């Protein structure tokens, strides 16, 4: 940029694009709208850990956020609008910043949690009082929560009719390309507004640094998300309907953290999968199954929009009287992957190492905690919130309530997963368990999901002593099941 053009740009009033759940350049309606004004763009991220009711991120999500912001900062700088980071209550920072730099408008992507919406509404009102434009966009969902309703106008409570209604709307709008050019807003950010650097946010673990497995597993950022999607279409979507339930196979998309942080748009994912099916690069049934999984994400977010306390209150009030049992020793064993049930322990160790767990194993581990240990589902939801890199407020809460039987369209409480049978069905050779529970890796497939049933000679051959090399079971399955059903009877008529 020449000095003359820079001076001309400096004379133009800027606009602000406030980035938070759409950490990408492509298919970002808020960013595109800011660019289309032709005015200088100030791109900001506000790390808000001070607004009332906004849930702080868990440790794994904080790790991901650091690297996602680093990638976004590089991409924005290359596009011409370096990312500026601030820290503090967004309700104060955003309006004050807009006023102090003379911005004519602020653009952002919508959020759907109750506390987040309250913050955004207050900001929109403050900007309106200042005569500054406030423009929000849907960059996170296929359809707004108020757009997909029953015939009576109520929100859906059952997934299948919701999915049918969503499909009847047709494909979402096509994704937008990256803005061709962003013009930098040459403004000084007042220190009083909480200017920060990425490192000063202290998002990364240091003492100890437990993120080695996360670094081995993931590449946060828009390019990492695109690579994941391409790999899905080329290598994993063919056979997805059958393979997605097999933790021993590489059969899932692993897109969830990228979608959660908005590193790739849901509209782009949808259209690329639909196009791959139309071009017969993948079977139609596999594409449809994957799209239905995107729809479950959508359904969960619609539930959260209409039920902001989804992570803390039973969707079905009768579960308020459920006789949960508090046993810290057992919960700790579950968290550490030392329950004595190999498929459960494998999942919990995968979670700790990678910040992610295979979806089928999530259901098995959650059912074990809730049903066999009679632990309140909110205990598990909180642990996943802290340890998952894809700890989405909607998906996490809705899925835990689904397993508990207390949620919308939930599995019946008396549906109790048997971890031994589930392991044998979905990890038939024991490869998944061997990877994450190496102490029992030498057991043959016939015994790896129930080592306590192995003859002494088999245990000796595997150099395995239960209680020493691998924990004894913390609960008997039959006793746990009986206890769960008895507990459910106390609220059955409620």
At 373-393, the pLDDT tens digits run 999 999 999 999 999 999 999
Catalytic residue among 210, 324, 352, 452: 324
Q: Given this model, what pLDDT does residue 10 score?
A: 58
Q: Is residue 359 flagged as an active site residue?
A: yes
Domain spans of the chain, in order of start = 3-139, 141-176+220-307, 317-489
The CATH code that applies to domain 141-176+220-307 is 1.25.40.80
Quote the CA–CA distance of 89 and 46 in Å, as a whole number. Answer: 8
Average pLDDT on 90-94 reads 97
Other Cβ atoms closer than 10 A to 224: 18
Catalytic residue among 18, 163, 218, 296: 296
Q: Do residues 10 and 183 lie in contact, with contact meaning Cβ atoms separated by under 8 Å?
A: no
Q: Given this model, what pLDDT does residue 6 score?
A: 52
Say if strands 41-47 and 15-18 run parallel, antiparallel, or are unpaired. Answer: parallel
Catalytic residue among 64, 218, 356, 400: 400
Q: Is residue 293 flagged as an active site residue?
A: yes
Average pLDDT on 261-267 reads 98
Average pLDDT on 143-159 reads 97
Cis peptide before 208, with omega less than 30 degrees from 0?
Answer: yes
Residues 6+ positions from 4 with CB-CB distance below 8 Å: none
Q: Which residue, among 236, 228, 238, 244, has the nearest Cα to 360 in the 3D structure? A: 244
Q: What are the tens digits of pLDDT across the range 95-134?
A: 999 999 999 999 999 999 999 999 999 999 999 999 999 9
Instruction: Give the class (CATH, top level) of 3-139.
Output: alpha beta
Average pLDDT on 388-413 reads 94
Q: Given this model, what pLDDT does residue 8 score?
A: 47
Q: Do residues 94 and 200 lie in contact, with contact meaning Cβ atoms separated by under 8 Å?
A: no
Q: Is residue 383 flagged as an active site residue?
A: no
Average pLDDT on 430-435 reads 98
Catalytic residue among 210, 243, 293, 452: 293
Q: What are the tens digits of pLDDT across the range 293-347?
A: 999 999 999 999 999 999 999 999 999 999 999 999 999 999 999 999 999 999 9
- pTM of the prediction? 0.96
| DSSP 8-state secondary structure symbol assigned to residue 188 | P
Decide whether 3-139 matches 141-176+220-307 in CATH topology: no
Other Cβ atoms closer than 10 A to 286: 21
Q: Which residue, among 334, 312, 332, 392, has the nearest Cα to 359 in the 3D structure? A: 392
Q: Is residue 327 flagged as an active site residue?
A: no
Q: Is residue 400 flagged as an active site residue?
A: yes
The CATH code that applies to domain 317-489 is 1.10.579.10
| Residues forming a β-bridge with 196 | 85
The pair of three-digit structure tokens given for residue 482, joined into one six-digit string: 């009986």
> Average pLDDT of the chain?
95
**The pLDDT of residue 394 is above 70:** yes
């Amino acid at each position: 940029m020449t000095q003359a053009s820079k001076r001309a740009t400096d004379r133009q009033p800027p606009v602000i694009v406030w980035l938070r759940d759409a950490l990408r350049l492509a298919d970002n309606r808020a960013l595109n709208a800011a660019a289309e004004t032709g005015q200088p763009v100030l791109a900001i991220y506000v790390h808000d850990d001070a607004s009332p009711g906004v849930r702080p991120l868990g440790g794994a999500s904080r790790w991901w956020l650091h690297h996602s912001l680093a990638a976004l900062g590089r991409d924005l700088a290359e596009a011409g609008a370096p990312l500026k980071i601030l820290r503090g209550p967004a309700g104060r920072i955003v309006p004050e910043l807009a006023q102090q730099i003379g911005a004519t408008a602020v653009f952002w992507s919508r959020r759907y949690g109750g506390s987040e919406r309250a913050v955004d509404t207050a900001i929109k009102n403050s900007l309106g009082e200042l005569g500054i434009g406030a423009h929000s966009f849907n960059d996170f969902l296929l359809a707004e929560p108020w757009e997909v309703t029953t015939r009576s106008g109520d929100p859906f409570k059952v997934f299948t009719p919701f999915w049918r209604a969503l499909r009847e709307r047709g494909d979402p709008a096509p994704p937008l390309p990256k803005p061709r050019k962003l013009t930098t807003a040459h403004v000084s950010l007042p220190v009083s507004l909480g200017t920060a650097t990425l490192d000063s946010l202290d998002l990364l673990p240091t003492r100890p640094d437990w993120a080695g497995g996360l670094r081995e597993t993931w590449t946060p950022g828009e390019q990492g998300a695109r690579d994941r999607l391409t790999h899905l279409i080329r290598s994993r979507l063919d056979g997805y309907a059958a393979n997605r339930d097999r933790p021993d196979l590489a059969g899932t998309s692993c897109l969830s953290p990228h979608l959660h942080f908005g590193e790739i748009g849901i509209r782009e994912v949808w259209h690329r999968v639909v196009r791959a099916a139309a071009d017969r690069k993948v079977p139609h049934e596999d594409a449809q199954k994957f799209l239905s999984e995107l729809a479950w994400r959508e359904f969960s977010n619609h539930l959260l929009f209409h039920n902001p306390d989804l992570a803390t209150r039973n969707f079905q009030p009768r579960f308020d009287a459920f006789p949960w049992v508090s046993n810290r020793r057992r919960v700790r064993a579950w968290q550490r992957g030392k329950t004595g049930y190999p498929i459960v322990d494998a999942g919990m160790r995968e979670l700790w190492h990678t910040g992610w767990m295979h979806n089928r194993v999530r259901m098995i581990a959650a059912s074990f905690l809730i049903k066999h240990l009679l632990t309140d589902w909110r205990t598990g939801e909180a642990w996943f919130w802290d340890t998952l890199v894809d700890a989405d407020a909607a998906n996490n809460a809705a899925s835990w309530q689904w397993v508990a039987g207390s949620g919308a369209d939930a599995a019946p409480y008396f549906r109790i997963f048997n971890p031994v049978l589930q392991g044998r069905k979905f990890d038939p050779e024991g490869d998944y368990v061997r990877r994450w529970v190496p102490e029992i890796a030498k057991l043959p497939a016939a015994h790896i999901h129930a080592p306590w049933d192995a003859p002494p000679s088999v245990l000796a051959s595997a150099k395995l002593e239960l209680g020493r090399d691998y924990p004894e079971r913390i609960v008997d399955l039959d006793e746990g099941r009986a206890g769960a059903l008895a507990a459910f009877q106390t609220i059955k008529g409620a």
